[in-house]
Amino acid sequence: MKLAFVFNYPLIDNVDWKKTAIQKSIDAGYNVDVYYGKTHLSQYVKAYLTKRKFGNTSTASNRLKEKKEKNYSFFVKLGIKPVKVKDINSQKAIDRIASKNYDYLIIAIDQILSKRFIEGINSKILNIHYATLPDIKGVNAIEWNYLVNGKCELTLHYIDAGIDTGGIIRKEEIPYDKEDSFYMMREKLQKKIPSTLLDFLQSSKENVFENKGGLLYTYMHKEIQEIITKTL
């Protein structure tokens, strides 16, 4: 089986679950390639500052360089050379990926795949959504899922032309403690991703469930997040 993982920052962002998923896939005998798009250091720094709230650009830049160098060795040991793609929706990227005839693409990026990409790739495209589908679609999924459903759950689903509307493959509810923050919930959820993904890839059955209904959620205001956090 041929797999391709498509990430924003495979060497920096959410590295642990990505490393585990890639390692498990290789151990299972699959051929694995990795693609990522945001390659310029300024983009890494901007994302890191935004997500980690570092106040000092220089500090963030130095930490990112160290982390990138450390994690790149992981790919080298596995014989993988991550492919830089400036724009995943460009025709150049589509042609390159389509030519490989992957069985599955596993997507973990913060942008919407274009209709041209979806129709131009001769592969099934998987996404790991951080909430219960079909109920909670969109961003800040963990936060909205807790507010609406009172639980932490991941959903493995196919990608189609809509936003989080593709057929549902797997759901995994994640136990959490009352003291857990949203960040801790995210960590626990991400630890479950590799096993959920491999269980599906190694399964002889492919049951796909409808993904109709639910609501599309946008970014949750910081003050709302703080209020909800106090109830955890």
Query: pTM, whole model, 2 decimals?
Result: 0.86
Q: Write out pLDDT tens, residues 110-131.
A: 888 999 999 999 899 999 999 9
How do the domains of the chain map onto residue ranges? 1-122, 127-232
| Annotation: CATH topology of 1-122 | Rossmann fold (3.40.50)
| Helix locations, 79-162, DSSP H | 91-98, 115-120, 141-149
| CATH architecture of residue range(s) 127-232 | 3-Layer(aba) Sandwich (3.40)
pLDDT per residue, tens digit, the chain (232 aa), is 999 999 876 556 667 899 899 999 999 999 999 998 655 555 555 655 555 554 555 665 666 667 667 777 788 888 998 888 888 899 999 999 999 999 999 999 888 899 999 999 989 999 999 999 999 999 999 999 999 999 999 999 999 999 999 999 999 999 999 889 999 999 999 999 999 999 999 997 789 999 999 999 998 988 888 877 766 6
Query: Are domains 1-122 and 127-232 of this chain identical in fold?
Result: yes
**Of 150, 168, 171, 148, nearest to 158 (Cα)?**
168
In order of 43, 60, 61, 90, 216, the CA distances from 172 in angstroms are 32, 34, 36, 33, 20
